């Protein structure tokens, strides 16, 4: 890199690799959109309630919004320690009978609870206290970076309220971490068939929350690298603030 006179030759990641745009852009986009929603958009600047994060390859059940409101009410009144609400799951065995009205309290885990995530302004403000670490941690994955912050910076660590029967589904099987064939239509058809079969269990009248019985044993994450370039770290640190250091304001 030095011989080629690359701009960033002095700043490889932990493993000696250099910046790859297709990887770093995901962490940038995740952090930027949160900062922009809470500080940059006039319509949401004063919104203190939930923000639900849905990606372009997410698919939702008919009652997802109803369940989200029920979860938030439980979070505000009974399980106030939860700062993340999760509507999705990567479990391929999706069961609704005897489970569609239930949610579990658990430690937030990046690879389990990052789909259909919702958080409110209070949680976002707590993340701001760890902004420097988020932007400097050498991992191009936003969720693994968040896992690191949960263990090293956030006090208390992240806790999640997770639906046992998912209302958000991932249909993008050829995303950044996937290879091979991808047919979203087939996945949507299977999801619709499953939802139709279990239609009677959707829209439950109440949400039953199961308290956490034991904490998840989560090893401190090992950074995946890919985030060693100072340009990425510097850009990340600017999100949510204008040149004067005050919260962004949308131009009129």
> Are 231 and 8 contacting, i.e. CB atoms less than 8 angstroms apart?
yes
- 200 assigned to a ligand binding site: no
The Cα–Cα gap between 158 and 112 comes to 13
Question: Could you give phi then psi for residue 249, rounded to 5 degrees?
Answer: -130, 130
The single residue listed with the structure tokens 């389990």 is 112
The Cα–Cα gap between 224 and 102 comes to 34
- 29 assigned to a ligand binding site: no
Q: Identify the three-state secondary structure at position 208.
A: strand
- 94 assigned to a ligand binding site: yes
Q: How far is residue 165 from each of residues 70, 141, 171, 195, measured CA to CA in Å?
A: 14, 26, 17, 11
Residue ranges at the known binding site for substrate: 94
Residue ranges at the known binding site for Mn(2+): 57, 170
Residue ranges at the known binding site: 57, 94, 170
């Amino acid at each position: 890199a030095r011989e080629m006179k690359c701009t960033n030759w002095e700043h490889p990641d932990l493993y000696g690799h250099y910046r790859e745009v297709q990887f770093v852009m995901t962490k940038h986009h995740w952090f930027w959109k949160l900062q922009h929603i809470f500080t940059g958009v006039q319509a949401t600047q004063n919104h203190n309630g939930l923000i639900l994060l849905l990606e372009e390859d997410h698919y939702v059940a008919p009652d997802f919004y109803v369940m989200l409101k029920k979860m938030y009410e439980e979070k505000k009144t009974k399980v106030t320690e939860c700062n993340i609400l999760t509507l999705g799951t990567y479990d391929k065995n999706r069961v609704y009978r005897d489970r569609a009205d239930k949610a579990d309290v658990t430690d937030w885990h990046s690879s389990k609870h990052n789909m259909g995530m919702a958080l409110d302004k209070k949680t976002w403000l707590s993340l701001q206290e760890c902004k420097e670490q988020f932007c400097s941690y050498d991992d191009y994955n936003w969720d693994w970076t968040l896992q690191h912050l949960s263990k090293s910076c956030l006090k208390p660590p992240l806790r999640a309220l997770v639906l046992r029967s998912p209302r958000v589904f991932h249909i993008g099987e050829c995303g950044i971490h996937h290879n091979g064939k991808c047919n979203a239509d087939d996945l949507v058809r299977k999801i619709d068939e499953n939802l139709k079969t279990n239609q009677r269990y959707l829209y439950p009248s109440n949400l039953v929350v199961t308290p956490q019985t034991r904490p998840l044993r989560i090893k401190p994450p090992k950074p995946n690298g890919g985030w060693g370039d100072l340009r990425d770290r510097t850009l990340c640190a600017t999100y949510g603030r204008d040149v004067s250091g005050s919260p962004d304001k949308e131009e009129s």
